[in-house]
Amino acid sequence: MTATGYEPLNVLKPVADRIWIIDGAPVTVMGFPFPTRATVIRLENGNLWVHSPTLLTNGLKDALAELGPVRHLVAPNQFHFLHIPEWAEAFPEAQFWMAPGTPERAAKHGIGLPEGQELQPREAELPWDGQIAQLLVRGSRTHKEVAFFHKASTTTILTDLIEAFETAKLPARCRPFVWLNGIDDSDGKTPPLIRWTFRDKQAFAEDIETIVGWGAWRVIIAHGRWYDRDGTAELERAFRKSLAPRQWDRAMRDMKARESDNDQA
């Protein structure tokens, strides 16, 4: 198994009360080894919610059993489905939840997914309603990603909307790709190939503002260094180019409103 720099792999690592991460084995795409990361949340009823499941080992399965029953498997976008079948087989009572377009893309790669439900734009009437906020980020016709926010731990969970590769943990041949795409951990952000699909920039910025407004203390991402503090500031940094025009417009409106008040005084 290729080292990722996030060892030990395939073990539960506590993040905060009722939330853990699992650093998984890398997935190689066009020769590039993507480190992977799952997130596990224990809901108030004791059931486990698993975001972007990584490789399931016997040891990990035993560790999960000590936390509670796995009842929800989440494919948060149409790229993160690889290990869903093995988890569904291991936990037959778990429900499968998926972003739009996931079954079609899995089928193109010869992977059959279990029956499941498409994630809705928001969390209303879902088993985790009131505990985990969710938002299907708008603006792209092709990239459908659902962002989540665990309220009890003030943790935002993203998948590919931010990537922050630590180049020292990558093979030397892969480092120029990360630098050229601006997704090294010094300034992690949305990869260009995904960012360019968001043609409706206003809808995208509105949803990013909602995500920032959740007030995260920490932000967990699937690839690279995650942020264990100052989460809201990291989100504002990562999405600054999308947020800047709206912030400018608000500043101008506020200035004009103050000028109008002064004229009337």
State the DSSP string of 236-248: HHHTHHHHHHHHH
Whether residue 191 lies inside any domain: the answer is yes
Whether residue 6 lies inside any domain: the answer is no
Q: Which of 34, 40, 42, 7 is nearest to 23 (CA)?
A: 7
User: What is the Cα–Cα distance from 98 to 119, expressed in whole angstroms?
Assistant: 5
Whether residue 111 lies inside any domain: the answer is yes
Whether residue 57 lies inside any domain: the answer is yes
Whether residue 3 lies inside any domain: the answer is no
Whether residue 99 lies inside any domain: the answer is yes
- pLDDT tens digits in sequence order for the chain, 265 residues long: 578 999 999 999 999 999 999 999 999 988 899 999 999 999 999 999 999 999 999 999 999 999 999 999 999 999 999 999 999 999 999 999 999 999 999 999 999 999 999 998 988 789 999 999 999 999 999 999 999 999 999 999 999 999 999 999 999 999 999 999 999 999 999 999 999 999 999 999 999 999 999 999 999 999 999 999 999 999 999 999 999 977 655 555 555 666 666 766 6
Whether residue 5 lies inside any domain: the answer is no
Residue 122, helix vs strand vs coil: coil
Q: Return the CATH number at 170.
A: 3.60.15.10
Which residue type, as a one-letter code, is found at position 7?
E
Whether residue 37 lies inside any domain: the answer is yes
Residue 181, helix vs strand vs coil: helix
Residue 264, helix vs strand vs coil: helix
Residue environment code for 68-78, b if the CB has 16+ CB neighbours within 10 A, otherwise e: bebbbbbbbbb
132 beta partners = 150
Quote the pTM value. Answer: 0.92
Range of the domain at 77: 12-264
- Structural element, H or E, at residue 220: strand 218-220
Q: For the chain, where are the alpha helices, taking DSSP H only?
A: 58-67, 84-90, 102-108, 175-181, 192-195, 201-213, 231-238, 240-264
How many separate domains does the chain show? Answer: 1
